[in-house]
A and B are shown apart, each in its own frame.
Chain A
Amino acid sequence: MQLIYKNALTNKMRKTANVNAALAAATCTLLGTSAVVQADEGVWEMDAALLYYGETERVTAVEGVFSAKKDFGDEHLFSTKITADSLTGASASGAVAQPNAQTYTRPSGKGQYVVATGEVPLDDTFHDTRAQLESQWTQPLWNDMRGSTGVHLSKEYDYLSIAVNGSFAKDFNQKNTTVSAGLSLAYDTIDPEGGRPVAFSEMVIDEGQFANEEAYQAAFDATRQTGTDDKTTVDLMFGMTQIINRRMLMQFNYGLSMSDGYHTDPFKVLSVVNDQGLTQSLVHEDRPTERTRHNFYWQTKYALDVGVADVSYRYATDDWDVSSHTIDSRFRFNLSDITYIQPHFRYYQQSAAEFYQPFLIEGTTLPTFATADYRLGEMTAYTLGIKYGMKMPSGNEWAFRLEYYQQDPKNAGFDEPGALKQLDLYPSVKAVIAQVSYSF
């Protein structure tokens, strides 16, 4: 064996003059590492996390995340992530509170729920289970370039999303500058229980006016479209990362997102109120079929002797007139060699979509599009949190995170007729987030 091996080395040397390749083989023999696998084959790095998200009186979510990453050597990286979450509780339907109790039909058409006097109508049947899988492969290409490609799958009971992405990154200036460009294509299909509502169709509420169950069902079905609908999204991303000095790194991104298809939330409605502010009927919302978003992102990380400061700002704007500003800051403070504490503060501000309105007024012209979904209204939100991490002697790490989140919807300049003046149409949403994670 040994002799043949040596002859092979010598022949190779004479043919190609590449001594290095032969020397690499001899080195591997000496050091007991395999020439095929190379010495720098990495180990799987894994992360497991369990997250609890609880809004007061509204949605509760429990999410489990498992992610794994491996370096196959020479900067060939594979990463994958599996997420499973379960949501239960109630979410705002879009209808306004009233000075009397209100009866609603569930989105499925099966059964009703009653909202108490003065309460914001919450659809109490909100529950879902979601599973997500994403995988990414990154490797060097030619000329200091890196390529990355990945897939993303997300499945909910009534929703399926499939996405593929690809990106290139190139280093300049002795790897101090990295420029990247990426493309992502997503295809979503939705098939909600009970069907998709017809735009602006009136919610059918059984108040004893129907002769029998069939008559009710026929009236309900008339407000629904059968079959699935879909949405395609194209995302383009351009980024630049610049190492400013040994301690400081800066990143700029621009993202363009264009989506086409079904954007409407099949579970959201608008109240139609009279000039006294009293609800006369409820109609299903309708949104444009296209949306183009731009977002600009800047991030700076600064390493101090005691920790790391991380501050970012994002500005997003779109052709629905939703513009937002996000400031996110984290400061990692090393308490000791193996423990750290990380306070987190995030502030978010958003303007309302042009077709957002908290309710419709009876007798006025029906708009082309309308939604009362508070997530498309004017709002501010903030997050205050703290994370504590500790490293085991083995290098594995435990981390605990606790955060408070508050979302404050605002009136985007709508007059409130009669009874609505007395009611809180823009209640705050308060939530607690708790997370435990383990990296091994």
Chain B
Amino acid sequence: MIEFKKVIPAPIPEEMIEPSEIWNSELRLETGSLVLVSAHSGKGKSTLLHLLYGLRNDYEGEALADGESIRGKSRRDWETWRRRRVALLFQDLRLFPALSARENLELIPVANPRAPSHEEMADRLGMTSFLERPLASLSQGQRQRIALMRVLGKPFELLLLDEPFSHLDEENTRLACALVEEVTRANKAGLILTSLGETPPLPFERSLVL
């Protein structure tokens, strides 16, 4: 369970805090719930996810995970957090362009046993023929699907997706959402997905506006 107690990230201007349903408010996100966070650019969507991933510590208030403040986590704790409990799909994907698509999928510290195989995921997302290709030769949409497959291939209790379908068409978004829902459910995990306003076809339990 994630809790926010009056969290205000440092770079957010005063006028953006007031209308937000997350910043400077008391918020609880139950374990296993699917949450959509929508906002326009620059409202702090990535900041929210990065904060939960331990990449930012410059905020006021308190963020708790399972009742404990995440501010006090050590480097080793964050390492375990990222390795086994939380998976994040970055907006800029953070793939390795020198490797092939398959090598990118394989390059995770621990494999998620509840995730479908790489071949099956690639098949469902129409990426089978691109698996052996160098990542540098793939389009942005194809890369986005590879990054999604990689994040689903990691073990997680909470999945953080930062504008994951921004370069996908409607059909591919639908296929990707189905895969995300299936793997998230299989893991009995929660999901926080950010978008610029559109609502992907997923059964969100909560929808918040930043």
User: A and B, one complex?
Assistant: no
Q: Which residues of A contact B (CB under 8 A)?
A: none
